[in-house]
């Protein structure tokens, strides 16, 4: 039997194709329609902030207006265009949108690298649940830090970060990358926090990820999407969710 390209689990390949097709479809949309789609399905923290403190959102709009009328008008469009009934979809739907092919390609590389071992260990359904809930956790973290932000957030990075966090608990254990089903079934339990702290490989792995996100968040731009800074808070929210919630999704070693 011929090996699949890159030996990726089917669920990871399917998710990569879904993300690519979603972005490809947007390429052929008129700019006005694409903007409406973005306003409908991107995550805009201020839309939730409006439910809690409308004065904070108004103050943010006024601050934007003092800088640029165009920015204020665009922010108001993102705040008011979409139907309120679709608001609660956006903490997940934003993950299927990307700002550019570069943005998508970078996320695709990380999804293939860290989603594959997670999917092999957790199984397809649990992998998808972890990834989608990681996206929700990322949106929640972004909202917690920037509740009145009116710029749209897009990208699968928070969900992928959840895979990264979950992977940190087993990728340095024996048998983590085994493709043989029996070898995977005999893999040891997820590493505990004390064990992770003692493991220099894990610390380097996690430290590199945090340093990269902090650097890009402070100095980088969102992969061709806009002039908005990278939503590193969402990445960290997704990562922490994956790290802490991994035992809930691990289909091995259940009592």
DSSP string, 106-142: HHHHHIIIIIHHHHHHH-HHHHHHHHHHHHHHHHHHH
Question: Band of the pLDDT at 222, cuts 50, 70, 90?
Answer: very low
Find, among 170, 61, 182, the residue nearest to 122 by Cα.
170
Residue 40 is classified by DSSP as: H
The pLDDT of residue 4 is above 80:
no
The pLDDT of residue 180 is above 90:
no
Find, among 204, 234, 203, the residue nearest to 216 by Cα.
234
Phi-psi region of 188 (alpha: psi -120 to 50; beta: other; left: phi over 0): beta
More confident call, 192 vs 94? 94
The pLDDT of residue 183 is above 60:
no
The pLDDT of residue 212 is above 60:
yes
- pLDDT, tens digit (0-9, with 9 covering 90-100), for 155-178: 999 999 999 999 999 998 765 555
Find, among 221, 109, 103, 113, the residue nearest to 154 by Cα.
103
Q: Tell me the pLDDT of the chain averaged across its residues.
A: 86
Yes or no: say if 144 and 7 are a contact pair by the CB < 8 Å rule.
no
The pLDDT of residue 219 is above 90:
no
At 139 the pLDDT is: 97
Question: Band of the pLDDT at 188, cuts 50, 70, 90?
Answer: confident
| Residue 153, φ and ψ in degrees, nearest 5 | -105, 130
The pLDDT of residue 182 is above 50:
yes
Percent residues over pLDDT 90 in the chain: 55
- Mean pLDDT of all residues in 183-212: 83
The pLDDT of residue 17 is above 50:
yes
Sign of CA pseudo-dihedral 14, 237, 153, 76: positive
- pLDDT, tens digit (0-9, with 9 covering 90-100), for 62-116: 888 888 888 888 888 998 888 888 999 999 999 999 999 988 998 999 999 999 9
User: CA-to-CA distance for 1 and 3, rounded, in angstroms?
Assistant: 6
Instruction: Tell me the whole-structure pTM to 2 decimals.
Output: 0.87
Find, among 245, 241, 39, the residue nearest to 144 by Cα.
241
**Terminal Cα-to-Cα distance of the chain (whole angstroms):** 36
In order of their start, the domains of the chain are 9-29+88-147+155-249 (1.20.1540.10)
The pLDDT of residue 202 is above 80:
yes
More confident call, 4 vs 240? 240
Give the pair of three-digit tokens for residue 211. 């340093």
| Residue 43, φ and ψ in degrees, nearest 5 | -90, 120
- Mean pLDDT of all residues in 229-237: 84
């Amino acid at each position: 039997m011929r090996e699949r390209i890159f030996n990726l689990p089917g669920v990871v390949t399917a998710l990569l194709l879904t993300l690519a097709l979603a972005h490809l479809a947007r390429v052929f949309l008129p700019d006005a329609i694409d903007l409406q789609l973005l306003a409908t399905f991107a995550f805009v923290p201020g839309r939730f902030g409006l439910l809690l403190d409308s004065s904070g959102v108004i103050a943010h709009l006024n601050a934007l207006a003092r800088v640029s009328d165009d920015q204020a008008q665009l922010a108001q469009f993102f705040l008011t265009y979409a139907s309120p009934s679709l608001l609660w979809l956006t903490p997940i739907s934003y993950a299927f949108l990307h700002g550019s092919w570069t943005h998508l390609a970078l996320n695709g590389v990380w999804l293939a690298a860290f989603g594959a071992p997670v999917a092999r260990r957790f199984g397809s359904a649990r992998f998808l649940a972890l990834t989608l809930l990681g996206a929700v956790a990322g949106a929640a973290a972004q909202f917690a830090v920037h509740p009145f932000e009116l710029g749209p957030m897009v990208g699968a990075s928070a969900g992928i970060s959840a895979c990264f966090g979950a992977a940190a608990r087993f990728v340095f254990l024996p048998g983590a990358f085994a493709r043989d089903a029996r070898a995977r079934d005999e893999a040891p339990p997820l590493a505990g926090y004390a064990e992770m702290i003692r493991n220099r490989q894990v610390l380097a792995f996690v430290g590199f990820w945090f340093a990269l996100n902090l650097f890009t968040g402070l100095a980088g731009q969102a992969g061709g999407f806009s002039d908005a800074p990278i939503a590193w808070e969402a990445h960290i929210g997704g990562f922490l969710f994956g790290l802490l919630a991994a035992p809930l999704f691990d289909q091995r070693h259940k009592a």
